[in-house]
Structure 1
Amino acid sequence: MKLMNQINCPSNADYVVDEFEESPPMSTYLVVYMVSDFVYTEANSENDQVKYRIICKKDLANQTEFAINLGPKILKYHEDYFDEKFPLHKQDMAAIPDFSSGSMENWGLATFQENCLLIDPDVATTAGVYEVAQFMTHELCHQWFGDFVTMKWWTGLWLNEGFTEYAAQRGVDTLFPDSKYFQVKNVKNFVDVLDPDSLQSAHPLSVAIEKPDEIAPISMDPMTFAKGAILFHMMNTFLGENTFKQGIRNYIHKYKLSNAEPDDLWSLLTEEAHRQGTLEKNLTVKQIMDTWALQTGYPVLNVVRDYSADTVTLSQERYLTIKSHGTDNKTCWWIPITMTTSGDFNQTNATFWLNCENNNLTTPLAKDNEWVIYNMQMTVLFRVFYDTRNWMGIICTLNDPSKYETIPTLNRVQLILDSLSFSQIGQLDYEITFQLLKYLRHEIEYTPWFAALNGWRKIDDLLKRTPKHAVFQNNMRDMLSCVYSKFRNMDEKVNGYENIQLQSLVISRACEYQTKDCIQRVLDIFRKWMKSIDPDNNNIMPKDLKTTIWIRAIQYGCEEEWNFLWERFQRSNIETDRNYMIIALGSTSIESLLLRYLNWSLDESIIPRNYASAVFKSITLNEAGFLVAKEFFYCKISDIYEYYQQGGEIYVLGVYVNYIASQMKTKEELEEFQSFITKSSRYFKEPDSFIKQITETITKNIEWTAKFYNKIVQN
């Protein structure tokens, strides 16, 4: 709250007494106070009603300009969206050293890791600037949706985080209108959700919380944010922008300074949708959304065409990557169906609904010489499985350079994601998937490449440490050759957020897959930086490629390069740079450096605590580092536990387990993992469902290896 008065303490001259404005009614978990010798930068909101401050360490004050200029614009954006003035007289944003969470929405005093709030756009990557903007927009959105109106209980946490994540991504897209930020983040949401939510051991968004230590795992779960954001985007689409926004406003107006639950929001959205005529009178938002929020997983839409009768039969079932015997797969969802056969992808309102009552539906369709695509603009969370003839029709269009763009970018993304996943479980022949992916030779958009390379990453991980990995890398170099040639001149400036992202992605993967030209160019730039007179103040490399160059230069460089970047990390006070340097340093192939780095990660005097898990992750995902990281974790579990117990962050051990398990793919590794968990159970507070999910992931990897290892590199 606003500081009203400060007086000297009459009984002790060394103390002062601060008197603050009385707070409005608020939830206790949103109360925070801060005592520090930090400095602040100050501005007023656009209507001069709110004092806005950025608080940080004195030596970082020169990195507050971006946040102090953007913050009032974000407040105005949210005031307009919610049609509700900011309810407090001041809003502080504090950058906290070694803060365990990325950020926290305490009412009137939001707290952040330093790299999530402080940034210098002149030296930071474009992606880093937008990420800071999203953190800020997310936490300021919470000041209304979460603080002004608070959930009744933690089972509603997904509603708060899902909406604010969606609103933040939309907000950044609005504040930076040329960025296409929302499209990029929405695709990444799908990528974060589709695989983990296809496991038997996945959990629904709405999770029963009974004990305090159950809150952190859910509040840190990417599913809470990403799947929630996808579902709010789906609602915004099938209700329409105006209906959805007015329903959200009605929710804020009705429940401000009190508590609410998901059903309260569903009721108000239904009322508004019926009033505006955007939802049939016999339907409610609760009917629809309960199937998505209260049930585990998501559906696959099976499309079976009768080409002689020009009809199609649609059916749904839960999509599972491992179907165990006795699996009850009768779960069904209310799915808004959109489709096209003519290339008109702009109609995203539901043509009709597929639900439990008409779960197997036959409808008229187009002529037999046309392909059909469902889920226009990828607005709903489901996969689509077509018959072979339809797949081949789509492939024919995609592989024609003059026609592939008739299928919009987001639908190209879904075709890539779905085909790779269907092939991974043996439902679609890899030959068909690889025929589809050949079209990428003329693809120029970032998100399809991101989807494809993410899917290939899974294959790459499964082939690491095997004789066939080199053959796969050779195939990947060939696939990337055309798009790499477009970006190989690393000194040439690229404009536009998507193009910048594409350049960074392509160069990173081309180097990773051992493209000689890429490796040499990266090392030349890095070594030129090493020879500069003042490397800490004269970083000569292209700012949007520097993180990629750091990672690949360390991967292919020697101990000299590693020591140079470590020295830069120690001297830098730019937290966004330090964050990426930590990751890059874990990319070396020198085992002695990796082991030393892991030991340093548990010494807070060398590496700040909030970077420790990033060190472990970077080494685990490093082909040369996985066995080193696994052995370190198994042998040092008591030390790791004690380290995080001191900071009250025991839940981080679950993150470590996730990292190493994702790279396991043999029965021996699974048995070793299960034995370790049994012997070390006292160190883990995660529920049994978490261990089951990890075990299922490893089992899925084992099954894929048994089915496809000898086949995959032949294609």
Structure 2
Amino acid sequence: MGKVYYVSKNVGLALLVLAAIALATIVALSIAYHKERAKNRSRPGDGGPDSTSMPTPSTTPLTSKDPWDHYRLPQSLVPVSYNVTLWPRLEPNADDLYIFTGHSAVVFRCVKETDLIIIHSRRLNLTGNHAKLRCLGAVTAPAILKSWFVVKTEFLVLQLRSRLAVGATCALHTEFQGELADDLEGFYRSEYVEDGVKKVVATSQMQATYARKTFPCFDEPAMKAVFNVTIIHSRGTVALSNGREIDAADSVIDGVPVKITTFEPTERMSSYLLAFIVSDFVSIQSNQNNKLLIRIWARMKAIGERQGDYALNVTGPILQFYERYYNATYPLSKSDQIALPDFNAGAMENWGLVTYRETALLYDPVMSSTGNKERVTTVIAHELAHMWFGNLVTLRWWNDLWLNEGFASYVEYLGADHAEPTWNMKDQIILNEVHNVFAVDALASSHPLTRREEEVNDPAQISEMFNTISYSKGAAVVRMLSEFLTEPVFARGLSSYLNTFAFSNTVYTDLWDHLQRAVENTPGIHIPHTVHDIMNRWTLQMGFPVVTIDTRTGSVTQRHFLLDSDSVVERPSQFNYTWFVPIKWMKTGVEQQQYWLLQKTDTNSLMRVSGHDWVLANTNVSGYFRVNYDLDNWGRLVSLLNSNHQALSIINRAQIIDDAFNLARAKIISTTLALTTTKYLSKERDYIPWESALRNLNYYILMFDRTEVYGALQAYLRKQIQPLFEHFKSITADWTKVPTGHTDQYNQINAIGIACSMGVGSCRELIKSWYRQWMANPSHNPIHPNLKSTVYCSAIAFGGAEEWDFAWTMFKNATLASEASRLRSAMACTKKPWLLNRYLEYTLDPTKIRKQDATSTIQTISGNVVGMPLAWNFIRAKWSYIFHQYGRGSFSFSNLVGGITRRFSTEFELQELKKFKEDNLRVGFGSATLVLEQAIEKTTANIKWVTENKAHVLQWLTDEST
């Protein structure tokens, strides 16, 4: 579908004339640019010099509720197009600052009479004549009386002498200067060293509210426009943007030799999807159907070592899969993907120019692991899913973020499964998304998928939406919807939605409308209520139900599942925490017809069983809920696991374990019943059930590894893991081969990791010998890439300063990002407090630990039982610095507080946590605000759980480990 401008034909023609004039003058303006900058050498953010045409913008505090006091833009002006020229300097200036200069013209329509132009601008120094207003046709532009910045709402406000009339189309021209800082936001710089030479990359991250740091713009997702981009850059570098390059010309600006690269206009899109990059990177490429240009960009050495080949190989097939799945052609002329040395998020779906951390795009066939390969595949699949769902059709406001991220988080498994069909990726969504988000959504401090708009206003609240609920619950709920509609019906509704709203914005109800039509147009598909009525209960109220089935009576009930049954839910629900629950189930191995639980209590006589018959509900975990049974049925399922576990699917074996452990934490069943579901594991060889068990037992490790229970827990786990360890030793010919299956390779990692940590002697000696061989010959690493993370961590934990220092040296010399990441995590495993404290200090020095990795390194150290109190003391002492460096917009920042407090389970730790909150209220918590509340809630629940279960757990483990 073509561009949609929503303007009349006459206005459209006028805009085309204006655009032609603007494009013709770009080079002339650029040449004059350097002279203007020479006159205005003020630092970014200081405000430009006085001007006769327009007063200098001043900074105004919030004192009233004027239009500029609100975080949302007034609805009086709508952008149509931008002409943006940027010139990043990759060398510092006399003040030792890296800067960029630029000018832009935004064409907008007036849709509501106004004498104000309010546009986003943050930390930009307007230069030259600041801003000029021109209007099209016979309309005379009002003079600009005054202008000012509003720091809190990040607005540039222009007061006009007279009012703009409805229908007027005008262009606002601005010139500006900004800092090309290393803060990973907006237009920023990334640095790396190659062959001993420091190199600088100018790159960008606009989501969610950082485009305004680069140029004045209407920086909200509904304010879509066409962007015409020109980049001035040093010769010998390459410039990239969303559109394909249409012209590149050498020039000289005031004695400086430069190249001026112009790009084709973008499609109509949101400002957060813009991207600009200047680097000396190189690329590899392919052409899909001799039409679509696909390129992978990275550091020259990375491309030379063929680290981009795998990404190039899977991108084309994934794009083709989505074109068929969405029934919509990829709408752009090229697909660039680039690996950046410094990047805060995992990846960003900029339309036509997707940016990645190096670990998410680069794969070395010799040095990278199976896990690295899967990460590259799934992240590419996630970002390419956004090209349609998110970019082509975009949420209207951030309160519906889950529409973008939840959908992409579901579809990435379909795309990855198409690219690698032998990996069984569709099963892994249960571990990675469903079970993952259950833990958060079972808290009283959770929130609905769709929040009220007034709850999501400022940048910190927007960043807070990029959380597990939006991504993983979104994926789980979309998967459930696809399951009960069936995939073909779901895909037809989705295609209709995307083609109807192409290049526009929507709210969640628009998707329900199109899925409902698909249902009504498909014979044989019946659902008990409309898609709206069913799905609103899953998106407009937080949490999920636990469904209890009594197989003695056939009674089926539901209730809101809370991990701490004593917690108080303060968020009201119009649905009274009742869901329309689609239940797929089986009886004694035979699939039954889907059953819908539509109220709190119901009876299904088919679920009444006796004797050796059993009932299993939520087969393949197709629904987003937990299942509880009467004790008799629990007993039959546990007996089945012990006698013939393969009678149940891999996913359902994992589900039984995960449900049981979490029902026990909620005091719905006993802790000993939950532990009993793990007794069969000595016979289990599949990855997903083992991973489910280990994640749940990890909670016991966190609660008890500082108590006398830990010895008995080690003994029990050692007994259960030993057969799996011996199994992999056997099938790998004494660790010399790699298991064939994708998930078998993961389970081999589990077998070695748990065996070593639980004290299997032969495992420890194996690990030490491998690491010693590597230390003796650093140029030859004998450890298989799949096992490196586990081996590095264990060897450093067993060793001392020599092992740690060796890892640090190898980390600093690593040329593959995934290898550096493994070593960075492994160094947090040491048991030497002084080494951990030294490592914590390294996180404050970006020459040692990159800013993008600082908070995750602190979090990894806190995962070590020795490192936890050190990391806790460290962030309390350094909170103001850490917050101002990372806390305002970093999507990963919230993980820091949640990660460090995972072990908290004493009254003393709870009081420390509350005091930390009280002491830092003035500093703030940014995107970690909600996570801090959840940490307090989790700690309170942990205290109660340990008090009530410690003795029972110790007794059970002691009995079973002997």
Q: TM-score range by the shorter chain?
A: over 0.9
Matches within 5 A, 1:589-600: 589-600=831-842
Letter in 2 for 1:511: C
Q: Which amino acid aligns with 1:312?
A: G
Counterpart residue number, 1:468? 709
> Contact conserved, 2:904 with 2:939, CA < 8 A, in 1?
yes
Give the match for residue 484 of structure 1.
Answer: 725
Question: Which of residues 413, 422, 426 is equivalent to 1:182?
Answer: 426
Report the 3-state secondary structure (helix = DSSP H, G, I; strand = E; otherwise coil) of the residue aligned with 2:550. strand
Residue 464 of structure 1: how far off its partner (Å): 1.6
Question: SS in structure 1 opposite 2:926?
Answer: coil
User: Aligned partners of 1:281 and 1:438: how far apart in 2?
Assistant: 40
Query: Does residue 915 of structure 2 align to residue 675 of structure 1?
Result: yes
Structure 2 counterpart of 1:35: 278
Matched, 1:707 2:707: no
The whole-number CA distance in structure 2 between the counterparts of 1:132 and 1:246 is 29
Q: Deviations over 1:428-458 (max 9, x none)?
A: 1233223322111211111000011111000
- Over the matched positions of the two proteins, sequence identity in percent amounts to 29
The Cα of 1:264 is off from its aligned counterpart by 0.9
User: 3-state DSSP class of the match of 2:786?
Assistant: coil
The aligned residue for residue 462 of structure 2 is 215
Paired residues for 1:660-671 under 5 Å:
660-671=900-911
Aligned to 2:857: 615
1:26 matched to 2:269: yes
Deviation per CA, 1:661-711: give whole Å up to 9, x if none.
Answer: 111000001001111110112131247543321111101110111101122
Cα distance in 1 for partners of 2:748, 2:918 equals 45
Instruction: Give the match's secondary structure for 2:367.
Output: coil
Unaligned runs of 5+ in 1: none
Structure 1 window deviating more from structure 2 (200-209 vs 588-597): it is 200-209
Alignment counterpart, residue 693 of structure 2, candidates 452, 456, 461 = 452
Instruction: Kindly indicate whether the alpha-carbon contact (under 8 Å) linking 1:650 and 1:685 is maintained by their aligned counterparts in 2.
Output: no
Shift, 1:127, TM fit = 1.3
Equivalent residue number for residue 691 of structure 1: 932
Change (3 A) 1:268 1:651: closer
Counterpart amino acid of residue 586 in structure 1: A
> For residue 746 of structure 2, what is the aligned residue in structure 1?
501
8 Å contact from structure 2 (residues 671, 949) kept in 1: no
2:529 is aligned, of 277, 283, 289, to 283
Once the two structures are TM-superposed, the CA of residue 650 in structure 1 deviates from its matched residue by: 5.8
Contact 2:444 2:567 in 1 (8 A): no
Q: Report if aligned partners of 1:651, 1:685 keep a CA contact under 8 Å in 2.
A: no
The one-letter amino acid of 1:679's match is D
Distance 1:326 1:615, change over 3 A: closer
The 1:281/1:491 distance shift into structure 2, 3 A limit, reads: closer
Distance in structure 2 (CA, Å) of the matches to 1:416 and 1:516: 28
- Tell me the distance in 1 between the aligned counterparts of 2:897 and 2:401: 24
User: Alpha-carbon deviations, 1:339-374, whole Å to 9, x = none?
Assistant: 2113024x6xx6231123x64334343541111111
Match of 2:405 among 161, 178, 192: 161
C-alpha distance in structure 2 between counterparts of 1:494 and 1:269, whole Å: 43
Distance 1:321 1:24 in 2: 46
Which has the larger share of strand?
2
Say if 1:491 and 1:542, in contact at 8 Å, map to a contact too: no
Q: AA paired with 1:567?
A: T
Kept after mapping to 1: 8 A contact 2:444/2:568: no
Question: Counterpart of 1:20 in structure 2: which amino acid?
Answer: F
- Structure 2 counterpart SS, 1:295: coil
SS at match of 1:203: coil
Q: 2 CA distance for matches of 1:637 and 1:279?
A: 55
SS across alignment from 2:277: coil
How many Å apart are 1:10 and its aligned residue?
Answer: 6.6
Task: Determine which of 306, 310, 318 is the counterpart of 2:560.
Answer: 318
Change (3 A) 1:705 1:688: same
1:262 maps onto 2:504 in alignment? no
Q: What per-residue deviation string (whole Å, max 9, x for no partner) do you get for residues 62-88 of structure 1?
A: 211111222122211211211221111
Matched position secondary structure for 2:450 = coil
- SS of 2:711's equivalent? helix
2:334 matched to which residue of 1?
90
What is the aligned counterpart of 1:544 among 775, 786, 790? 786
Q: CA deviation at 1:427?
A: 2.2
Residue of structure 2 aligned with 1:17, choices 234, 241, 260: 260
Instruction: From 774, 785, 789, give the equivalent of 1:529.
Output: 774
Q: Which has the higher helix share?
A: 1
Shift in CA distance, 683/689, structure 1 to aligned 2, threshold 3 Å: closer
CA positional deviation for 1:652: 5.1
- Counting matched residue pairs gives 698
Deviation at 1:325, TM superposition (A): 7.0
The one of 797, 806, 826 equivalent to 1:555 is 797
Q: Which residue of 2 aligns with 1:656?
A: 896
Does the CA-based 8 Å contact 2:897-2:931 persist in structure 1? Answer: no
**Given that residues 240 and 278 in structure 1 are in contact (C-alpha distance below 8 angstroms), is that contact kept between their aligned partners in structure 2?**
no
Q: Distance in 1 between matches of 2:674 and 2:418?
A: 36
Partner of 2:845: 603
Aligned ranges 1:281-430 → 2 under 5 Å: 283-306=529-552, 311-324=553-566, 330-345=576-591, 351-356=594-599, 359-369=601-611, 370-400=613-643, 403-430=644-671
Per-residue CA deviations over 1:219-249 (Å, capped at 9, x if unaligned) read 2x12211111111211111111111111111
- Aligned to 1:501, what secondary structure does the other structure show? helix
The corresponding residue for 1:113 is: 357
Residues 635 and 325 (structure 1), Cα distance of their counterparts in 2 relative to 1, 3 Å cut: closer
In the alignment, does 2:486 pair up with 1:244? no
Which is greater in Rg?
2
Could you tell me which amino acid in structure 2 is paired with residue 276 of structure 1?
T
Alignment match, 1:64:
308
1:4 maps to 2:250: no
Partner secondary structure for residue 844 of structure 2: coil
Q: Look up the match of 2:292.
A: 50
Matched, 1:99 2:99: no
Distance 1:326 1:101 in 2: 34
Residues in 2 aligned to 1:94 and 1:668: alpha-carbon distance in whole angstroms: 47
State the AA in 1 paired with 2:594: T
CA deviations over 1:75-107 (Å, ceiling 9, x no partner): 112112112211111111111121011100011
- Once residues 339 and 929 of structure 2 are traced to their aligned partners in structure 1, the CA distance between those partners, rounded to angstroms, is 35
Post-superposition CA distance 1:26-77 (Å, at most 9, x none) = 11111111122222222212x1211111122222222111112221222112
Q: Distance between the aligned counterparts of 2:785 and 2:568, measured in 1?
A: 54
Distance of 1:272 and 1:651 partners within structure 2: 36
Report the more deviating stretch, 267-276 or 593-602: 267-276
Secondary structure of 1:324's match? Answer: coil
Q: Quick check: 1:316–1:360 contact (8 Å CA) kept in 2?
A: no
TM-score by length of 2: 0.71
CA contact (8 A) 1:613 1:656 kept: yes
What is aligned with 1:135?
Answer: 379
SS of residue in 1 equivalent to 2:262: strand
Map of 1:513 onto structure 2: 758
Unaligned regions of 5+ residues in structure 2, if any? 1-242, 957-962
* Whole-angstrom distance in 2 between the partners of 1:687 and 1:60: 35
SS in 2 for 1:14: strand
TM-score (norm 1): 0.94
Mapped contact 2:326–2:495 kept (Cα < 8 A): yes
Compute the displacement of 1:602 (Å).
Answer: 1.0
d(CA) in 2 for partners of 1:653, 1:397: 44
CA distance in 1, matches of 2:804, 2:929: 40
